[in-house]
Chains A and B, each alone.
Chain A
Amino acid sequence: MTEMVSEKMSEKMSEKMSGKLTGRPTNKTSDNEKMTAARQFCTFYLNHLLFGVESQKIQEVVTYRELRPVPLASPVVTGLMNLRGQVVVALELRRRLELPDRPPEMKPVCLVVRTAGGTVCLLADEVGDVVEVEEQTFEPSPETLSPRLRSVILGVHKLENQLMHVLDTDQACEVSGVVQG
């Protein structure tokens, strides 16, 4: 896991340097280009719906551990987690996506994602497979989807037997102004 972190750092640094100083493409960006054809998604379930997050965004998946509740915080914030010495905020995706609360006997899993605002832990019901999808199977969210959610759910990939909702992690971690109902 430590390697992942340091890899992330060096990635950031090389991006900064190449972007700022010369704009010369680094190995990293060319990797990304290669992947655009077939993208990898980590999937998970929320209330029996299949969701997917681009696999590079996911730092790791950890089992549920005790969370420290934060009074006065938004209801989406379930609590704080000690992730190997780092304090990470855990957000309840069900609440964020305005789905019914998880039954208490069901222990969630924690998807640790990297966002613009730092590392955030997203709580989901269950982790699924890593899938590779082609660009052609993608369709944007329909107009009928609530505008509040349309920014979070970018669209769906039509998989063989079900639809995979594509989640924008940065938007999913935006909790201010989430309507609770």
Chain B
Amino acid sequence: MGNRTASSETRALPMERVIPMNDADDIVKEFLVESYENLDRLDRDLVMLEKSPNDREILASVFRTIHTIKGTSGFLAFNKLGAVTHVGESLLGRLRDGQLTLDREITTALLTMVDAVRQMLTSIETSGVEGERDDSALIARLTLLQRADPPGKTAGKAQAKIPEPGELKAAAATAGAGALPVEASVKVAKPSASPRPSPSPSPKLAQVEAGAIAESNPKPAEPPSPSSSDVGDGQKMQAARAQGAGDSTIRLDVSLLDHLMNLVGELVLARNQILQCANRTEESSLLAASQRLNLITTELQGGVMKTRMQPIGNIWSKLPRTVRDLALDCGKQVRVEMEGQETELDKTLVEAIKDPLTHLVRNSVDHGIERPEVREAAGKNPEGLLSLRAFHEGGQVNIEIIDDGAGLDQERIRNKALEKGLITAEQAGHMTDREIVNLILLPGFSTAEKLTKVSGRGVGMDVVKTHIERIGGTIDVQSKPGKGVMVRMKIPLTLAIIPALIVTSAGERYAIPQVSLLELVGLDGDQSSKGIETIHGAPVYRLRGRLLPLVHLKTALHLEDAKLENAKTMTKTKTKADGGATLAENSAASTLENTMSTASGSKRVNIVVLEADGRQFGLVVDEINDTEEIVVKPLSKHLKDIAVYAGATIMGDGKVALILDVLGLAHGSSILSEGREHGISQELEAQETAEGAKQKLVLFAGLAGARMAVPLNLLARLENIPGSQVERSGNRWVAQYRGQILPLIRVSHALEERRRVPPPKDALSLPTTDMLQVLVLEDEHQAFGLVVNQILDIVESTLEPKSPSTRAGVLHCCVIAERVTELLDVPAVLLGGEAFEPPEVPSGAELN
């Protein structure tokens, strides 16, 4: 049987040491941990082996694993375990010696054995014994398989067998249907020409290989493609490396790492305090020591963080087995390709994405990839391809699950969503393909509640989505009809330390995870009171023309004086708020503060623009402090139910701050429930505006109380300019505005100018004490300030002309808000403004 050589290769087992008997528990525990690990590898190895049945290295590894379990179980007197593994080992021994060739039947039997072993191990772990079980059927099956092929027949049988089963055909898929015959034949030549690295291939094996090649020659598409063997090699290499690393690694209890993590957190705080003290003293030695402490602490923190990182391959390794079993059940052929197994993420996250990932993979195999005959009919390779890709991008881990199946039936999704009342018919008409595909992520789209149940495409996708979002990730589905589906998950690297924005509300600090942060908007002075409008009491803010629903953090947390704040920001006069946004982006706060110095009293309003579940909303906070890397601490069960908190953290000064859960906040403020509709209605609105049906207008009081209007889209912003800042330049009135000179035109004069003779120069004088309300109009060359008597309102209205213009500078009259309103002809007014310059002053004078 050749067991001797194999056993010499096994790792030194604990039992080989001399151990006092009361340490037997430790041995059992170690045995369990080690065996679980080995079993996981076994699953992977067996599936790989099925693809390349002659890989002696994998075979030897499988053999060793089973042998180790058998040996230890004998030592620990787990007899049933020993019996099952014994027959398995015998079977594997025959395979290894080349007396048998692995086929699907044997693989299935061996996998069943692995499952039985796993069950027994679980039983040993929970109850200490193997449990009542009867494995005689399995043992009989394994024994039978050993005898099925007497050694003499092996070579012939293997030759006949190899090209037959789906495996080789399956492997052919890798080569791609369109592979050139020439290329393919080169590939065929390769395995025979270059000697395999397997140790001392037996003559029989060579024969088998030769046979296989001879068989496949007529059909060049058949041999295993280089890509698949590359993958195999890569995995082999990794396995070898893992074995080598076994000597230099130790196993640790995760709670120990958590404890270390806590200690490092404390150390960081202590360091911060020492740094503060050290900076106050003159003692240079203390300064130097504290600097060193600083460096070491940072490095230590990084190191401890790293200990929690795990390659994603750890959970992927179980997937080929899942796919194989499921594909067999469904009568499909599926190949799994993996890329980026080494991508690391935090252990807790690896655990958290395990179930969603398995669900998505099952979905792809079960519903995405078609049956081989359907695929062939569609001109595709009969073997489906399931790709798993993982990579780092922008501080996040991207995981993609791609199948080359039939894609999602958009018509069906649309109909189902309509039927379930998730969208209205009107919305359905406006949705893009991608939006429709992503409808399957909506709760209520499917009826299944558990992850494990698979009954229709998109089943339980909302559960997957919830799981992913709970750990701060996002999920996106893309589908190409006939080409396949790609599901992309974006997962944060770690939950333990995240970058966050620190804000203050009601004197307490809160941390907002940076992932959901889009931008910050600061409204100063006048903007703070005018920038925020309300829709039936619900505060909104115009962010670049779109309405952004606002949530006051104080209101959301039911803190005091939130209502007061709300009332303050809700004012009658509305203003176009783009200025605020641009302000935040340019951080040109000072310029505006100058022009608006009089707007004292009203506080600065800070809006944190957040995104939750694809919908944006603004969170109004008292103060925006800083961004910081925070260590996330879980909340105790007493606070778990409060959806607006994601956790807590300890700030540099040792105080505790709460971490806000943006998703929970949005749900709590019903942003999300209304958000979807809102977004769509906005699009509709935009479309209507384009058709000219409705337009946003700024209403203002013109001549002698007459109401006038200007389309909002012609305005750059609304400003209040103090009369004291108006200066005279040449024959014009100007004001300094954002570092530019803004010519001012008084509406009354501009209009009257066209009617009569130019008024005397004194009539041009502007009041020097009052605040001027100015509509800033901007074209590509120059900005003009249109001075109006009073800005009344911003309304949305149709611009149906009711009567023709009565005077120049007015386009036509219409009825807005039940009052006759003149619509200003802005270009004409601007021309008029230039026209009233006396001829002796050249028109470019103000530029000097």
B-binding residues in A (CB < 8 A): 2, 5-6, 9, 13, 17-18, 20-24, 66-74, 76-77, 79-82, 84-89, 91, 117-118, 120, 173, 175-176
B656 touches A117 (CB 8 A): no
Query: What residue of chain B has the Cβ atom nearest to residue A68's Cβ?
Result: B656
Q: Are B636 and A70 in contact (CB under 8 A)?
A: no
Q: Is B77 an interface residue when CB atoms closer than 8 A count as contact?
A: no
Tell me whether B559 is interfacial, beta carbon within 8 Å.
yes
Partner of B25, one of A17, A91, A118: A17
Q: Can you sample 17 A-B contacts with CB below 8 Å? A: A2-B263, A9-B255, A9-B259, A20-B126, A22-B128, A68-B656, A71-B559, A76-B638, A80-B656, A82-B650, A82-B654, A85-B269, A86-B262, A87-B633, A87-B650, A120-B636, A175-B638
With both beta carbons as reference points, the residue of chain B lying nearest to A17 in the complex is identified as B25
Sorted nearest first, the 7 A-B pairs with minimum C-beta distance are A85-B266, A71-B557, A68-B656, A87-B633, A85-B265, A89-B636, A87-B648
Interface residues of B (CB under 8 A from A): 22, 24-26, 28-29, 125-126, 128, 253, 255-256, 259, 262-263, 265-266, 269, 508, 557-559, 633-639, 641-642, 644-645, 648-650, 654-658
Smallest CB–CB gap between B652 and chain A, Å? 12
Residues of A within 8 A of B654 (CB): 82
**Residue in contact with B259 in the complex, picked from A5, A69, A71, A118, CB distance below 8 Å:** A5
Residues of A within 8 A of B24 (CB): 22
In the complex, are the beta carbons of B508 and A69 less than 8 A apart?
A: yes
User: Are A87 and B28 also in contact (CB < 8 A) when A72-B557, A77-B638 are?
Assistant: no
Cβ-defined contact, B263 with A85, below 8 A: yes
Name which residue of chain B comes closest to A121, CB basis. B636
Bound complex: CA A88 to CA B262 (Å): 13
Which residue on chain A has the smallest CB distance to residue B125? A20
Assembled-state Cα–Cα distance A180/B695 (Å): 53
Smallest CB gap from A116: residue in B:
B637
| Contact A22/B25 with A72-B642, A77-B638, A175-B638 known, Cβ cut-off 8 Å | yes
* Contact (Cβ within 8 A) B253 A21: no
When C-beta atoms are compared, the residue in chain A nearest to B644 turns out to be A72
Decide: A21 near B128, CB < 8 A? Known: A68-B508, A72-B644, A120-B636. Answer: yes
Q: Quick check: B259 and A77 within 8 Å, CB to CB? A: no
Chain A residues with Cβ under 8 A from B658's Cβ? 68, 70, 80
Write out the residue numbers on chain A whose beta carbons fall within 8 Å of the beta carbon of B559. 71
Most buried by A among B262, B636, B641: B636
Which residues of chain B have C-beta atoms less than 8 A from A76's C-beta?
638
Residues of A within 8 A of B266 (CB): 84-85
- CB nearest to B266 among chain A residues: A85
Contacts of B634 in A (CB 8 A): 87
Given the complex, which residues of B lie within 8 Å of A67, measured CB to CB?
Answer: 656
Q: Is the CB of B636 within 8 A of A88?
A: yes
Give every chain A residue within 8 A of B656 (Cβ-Cβ): 67-68, 79-82, 87
Contacts of A20 in B (CB 8 A): 125-126, 128
B29 in complex: contacting residue of A17, A70, A88, CB < 8 Å = A17
A84 to B559, CA, bound (A): 29
Given the complex, which residues of A lie within 8 Å of B25, measured CB to CB? 17-18, 21-22, 24
Across the interface, do A173 and B657 meet the contact criterion of CB distance under 8 Å? no
Please name the residue on chain B nearest to A9 by beta carbon.
B255
B692 to chain A, nearest CB (A): 47
Asked if A117 contacts B637 (CB within 8 A), the reply is yes
Closest residue on chain A to residue B269 by CB atoms: A85
Query: A81 to B265, alpha carbons, bound, how many Å?
Result: 15
With known contacts A18-B25, A22-B25, A71-B558, A66–B655 Cβ distance under 8 A: yes
Chain A: minimal CB distance from B232 (Å) = 39
Which single member of A9, A22, A68, A91 contacts B638 (CB below 8 Å)?
Answer: A91
Residues of B within 8 A of A71 (CB): 557-559
Closest to B255 in A: A9
Q: How close is A123's CB to chain B, nearest CB, in angstroms?
A: 13
A21-B25, A80-B656 as given contacts; A117 in contact with B128, CB under 8 Å: no
Q: Among the listed A21, A23, A70, which residue makes an inter-chain contact with B639, where contact means beta carbons less than 8 Å apart?
A: A70
Cα A89 to Cα B128 with chains together (Å): 38
- Residues from chain B with Cβ under 8 Å of A22 in the complex: 24-25, 128
CA gap between A118 and B637 in the complex, in Å: 9
Taken together as a complex, chains A and B put the C-alpha atoms of A175 and B644 apart, in Å, by 18
Q: Are A68 and B657 in contact (CB under 8 A)?
A: yes
Q: Least Cβ distance of B548 to chain A in Å?
A: 24
Contact present for A72 and B636 (CB under 8 Å): no
In the complex, the chain A residue whose C-beta lies closest to that of B641 is A176
Considering residues A13, A22, A68, which has the most beta carbons from chain B within 10 angstroms of its beta carbon?
A68
- Which residues of chain B are within 8 angstroms of A9 by Cβ–Cβ distance? 255-256, 259
Bound-state Cα–Cα, A73 to B642, Å? 7
Residue numbers in A under 8 Å from B253 (CB-CB): 13
The distance from the CB of A14 to the nearest CB of chain B, in whole angstroms, is 9
Bound CA span A72–B650, Å = 20
Measured between beta carbons, the chain B residues less than 8 angstroms from A21 are 25, 28-29, 125, 128
Residue in B29, B126, B648 whose beta carbon sits within 8 Å of that of A80 in the complex: B648
Max chain B C-beta neighbours (<10 A), residue from A6, A9, A70, A79: A70
What residues on A are CB-neighbors of B126 within 8 Å? Answer: 20
Residues of A within 8 Å of B263, CB to CB, are 2, 85
Check if B657 sits within 8 Å of A86, measured CB to CB: no
Query: Do A73 and B269 touch (CB < 8 A)?
Result: no
**Candidates A5, A23, A118; contact of B636 at CB < 8 Å:** A118
A85 CA / B642 CA spacing, docked (Å): 22
Q: Which residue of B lies closest to A72 (CB)?
A: B642
User: Who on chain A is nearest to B24 by CB?
Assistant: A22
Question: Which B residues lie within 8 Å of A68 (CB)?
Answer: 508, 648, 655-658
Query: Shortest beta-carbon distance, B280 to chain A, in Å?
Result: 23
Task: Say how far A173's CB is from chain B's closest CB, in angstroms.
Answer: 7
Min Cβ gap A171→B in Å is 13
CB distance from A89 to the nearest CB of B (A): 4
| Given known contacts A17-B29, A72-B557, A72-B558, A89 and B638 CB-to-CB distance under 8 angstroms | yes
